[in-house]
Amino acid sequence: MSTPTVEELLGIINEKDKHMACLQTALRATKETFARQLQDVQRKATDEKATLYQQLQAALKDVNQLKEDLSRSQKSCLEEVRNLRKQFEFRKQDSNHKLRALETQQLSSAGNGHENCWNMTSTRSFTQKPPHQAHHLNGQASSLNVLDARGEFPLYSAAAGGYYDEVKRLLEQGANPSMRTLFQWTALHWAVGNGHAKIAQLLLDYGADINAISDTGSTPLDMARNDTMKGILRQRGAR
């Protein structure tokens, strides 16, 4: 094998240099292409990130708005419920006051002998009591201690009206001397309030609660209108 001449060696070197230059050019082109692609990817990622961020902000805004709407709706509902409760309580108290006033009017009218007023508000007359009404008032033993539609009971009405014999019969038949009306009044309250001393003593003899308290805070002693009645009650332990 012959040894290459200097010219041949220089030619080989030139070819290699050209090839190297081509490779470098191709490498730069590749790097530039990759750089552009990377920039495109980064730009798209940035744009997508910005879009997602905007969507997230919009979603958070919607959520916060929903929370505010829900809070307002809840407050509105609670306020409406409170108003309805206030209206209900007011109407309930108003109805109770009217019932207590009617009850007081009925019993006071019975005790003072106002027959017409009593007959307008009661199913029984305490100034005239025919036999069939007396039998209805007595009733059966099982019904003596049951409140009627007005929240009253036979012993209470008889004691308030001043019917001693009726009260005695009811007590003998098992009527509870300490039974209370719908508003916590007892027969003793209105026997005392209407000045029926004998009936009050009879009720106490049968064990009536002398210190019973009505829903207005009144005891039988509070209902007494004269010193004689107060003295009778205090002797029996009234406070």
Nearest to 143 by CA among 188, 184, 175: 175
37 falls within a domain? no
Distance CA 113, CA 118 (A): 9
Q: How confident is the model at residue 156 (pLDDT cuts 50, 70, 90)?
A: very high
136 falls within a domain? yes
| DSSP H or E stretch at residue 207 | none
Q: How confident is the model at residue 17 (pLDDT cuts 50, 70, 90)?
A: confident
Distance CA 238, CA 231 (A): 9
- Average pLDDT on 233-237 reads 94
As a whole number, the mean pLDDT across the chain is 82
pTM of the model: 0.47
pLDDT at position 95, please? Answer: 67
pLDDT at position 113, please? Answer: 43
Domain count, the chain: 1
230 falls within a domain? yes
Distance CA 192, CA 150 (A): 21
Residue 101 has pLDDT above 90, yes or no: no
100 falls within a domain? no
- Average pLDDT on 34-47 reads 92
pLDDT at position 117, please? Answer: 31
80 falls within a domain? no
30 falls within a domain? no
33 falls within a domain? no
Residue 64 has pLDDT above 80, yes or no: yes
Q: Please list, residue by residue across 70-99, b when 16 or more beta carbons sit within 10 angstroms of its beta carbon and e when fewer do.
A: eeeeeeeeeeeeeeeeeeeeeeeeeeeeee
- Average pLDDT on 203-210 reads 96
142 falls within a domain? yes
Domain that holds residue 142: 128-235
Q: Are 216 and 100 in contact (CB under 8 A)?
A: yes
Residue 163: give its domain's CATH number.
1.25.40.20
For 125-146, the pLDDT digits (tens) are: 333 343 333 444 444 555 799 9
- Average pLDDT on 10-19 reads 88
